[in-house]
Amino acid sequence: MYQEIDLDKIDISKEPPTEEPARQYYFIAKCRRYVKEFEKQLGRRLTFFTQTFGCQMNARDSEKLTGILEQIGYAADESEEADFVLYNTCTVRENANNKVYGRLGYLNGFRKKNPMMMTALCGCMMQEPLVVEKIKHSYSFVDLIFGTHNIYKFAELFCAAFENRFIANTPKKKGAMIIDIWKDTDKTVEDLPAKRKYFFKSGVNIMFGCNNFCSYCIVPYVRGRERSREAKDIIREIETLAKDGVVEIMLLGQNVNSYGRNLKEPVTFAQLLKEAEKIEGIERIRFMTSHPKDLSDELIEVMKNSKKICRHLHLPLQSGSTDILEKMNRKYTKEQYLGLVEKIKAAMPDIALTTDIIVGFPGETEADFAETMDVVRKAEFDSAFTFIYSRRTGTPAAAMENQVPEDIVKKRFDCLLKEVQEIAAGKAMKYTGSVQKVLVEHVNEQDSHLVTGRMSNNSVVHLPGTADLIGKIIEVRLTECRGFYYIGEVK
Ligand code: 5AD
Ligand code: SF4
């Protein structure tokens, strides 16, 4: 494991090794020497700032990048005036792209004041060739661009960018942007450092990429084909996390229900959960995201019988209309979705069900939208992320006829949001007065006399308490429900 490697003993006068992860340790060691030298000259620490856009997967990737930066010797900073600024980007909807361009414009001002400042961009948006072209032309100050498939190579890429900027007599041209984007890979590299945001909980990647090609979605193009990590590597990582004080894990994948199919010895997601459950110290297991077409009876059974798997299932609906679902390439009907919801609720009456819904997919009629509203009422989601359809260049839906006019989409969106919120508020009430186990996560941002935590079903609870409760699972009486969260007190 990486904790056992003495970076200062690695001989950087030799050629870098070709095998991973040894190669990356070599570059971490090399950068460490540079950083020490520069810090001596400047008489201060070099600092970094990272900002993550998008999903849990990106958040976990950022923890890995942060872990490497800290090993290199940079110190974390809260400000974008840091010496190294990294944006880990998302491209699932157009507005995610616009946010990044906005940040880059803002950065340019700081850059002029700090000659040590380096900037890097990574993540899904960088997998789009047009985006990279735009950055090359409009934001030529960026030092490094890499994608989603080669984040494990970050130390090597960072080293090249650092040498490019600050080290003379290296073969690379001074000032040139380092761009390393891979279209796809079947490689997963284990045992690199990661810096967790929370000491008591952690995301764990179980698979990368997606094979589903929902017609609106850009993810399969930017994250590549589905590949699962070996179960033994996942279990070993969770065991290490448990030893390190982690009590809650979130297993991450674009479609966790198809986990293990491409392994030499196939394993099902339900089997993986059963193994993870055996690990001492792990008290809670969450996972994200499930595709309705692949959610098995075996998984429902394992969840039902488990004391550790949280009572929460995120099951994206996307649309309630069977016609639209077909155009979306979702491979289930309205009735199949509702049947699945019924089965899950019958097995686990206390489950919290959440979902994603897209409004305004091409060709969506009033009748289609009414079907979505019907499913929302019948499924009674505990919460729902609602999205306005965003046309993503290169996806089949972008070329479809009958794109829905903006004003109609907006009206439908407002109507859906109102319904979703009313149902969610009504459902939240039901636990008022009961005692629930709560994992305390942080001191409340608005009121330092309160701490904030989550129930097994993911509901948020605020209660009087101090920082020493963080990371503990405690029994809390829920005294009041305020719409989307509870107020409680230690039992
Ligand atoms: N437009 C709007 N929402 C989208 N999503 C994915 N692609 C698009 C798009 N083109 C939503 C889906 C998915 C969630 C992560 O983002 O609902 O489940
Ligand atoms: Fe996108 Fe569909 Fe894959 Fe989810 S399952 S990442 S919506 S293509």
The per-residue pLDDT for 254 is: 94
Strand order across the beta sheet in which 352-359 lies? 312-314, 352-359, 383-388
The ranges of the chain with pLDDT < 70 are 1-4, 168-175
Q: Is the CB of 453 under 6 A from ligand 2?
A: no
Q: What is the pTM of this model?
A: 0.92
Res 171: pLDDT:
53
Q: Is the CB of 124 under 6 A from ligand 2?
A: no
Res 3: pLDDT: 54
CA triple 90-94-99, angle to 5 deg: 65
Q: Is the CB of 217 under 6 A from ligand 2?
A: yes
CA 159 to chain CA mean position, Å: 26
- Name the residue with the closest Cα to ligand 1, atom 12: 356
Atom of ligand 2 nearest to the CA of 213: 8
| CA dist., res. 63 & res. 125, Å (int) | 18
* pLDDT for the residue 148: 92
Q: Which pLDDT score is estimated for 224?
A: 92
Query: Closest Cα to atom 1, ligand 2: which residue?
Result: 217
Backbone angles phi, psi at 318, to 5 degrees: 70, -50
Atom of ligand 2 nearest to the CA of 289: 4
Q: What is the pLDDT of residue 454?
A: 98
124 CA distance to ligand 1 middle (Å):
14
- 122 CA to middle of ligand 1, Å? 20
Name the percent of the chain in helix, strand, coil, to the closest 5.
40, 20, 40
Q: Which of 255, 324, 325, 357 to mutate to test the pocket of ligand 2 (most atoms within 8 A of CB)?
A: 255
> Can you give the pLDDT at residue 412?
98
For position 308, what pLDDT does the model report? 98
pLDDT of residue 409: 98
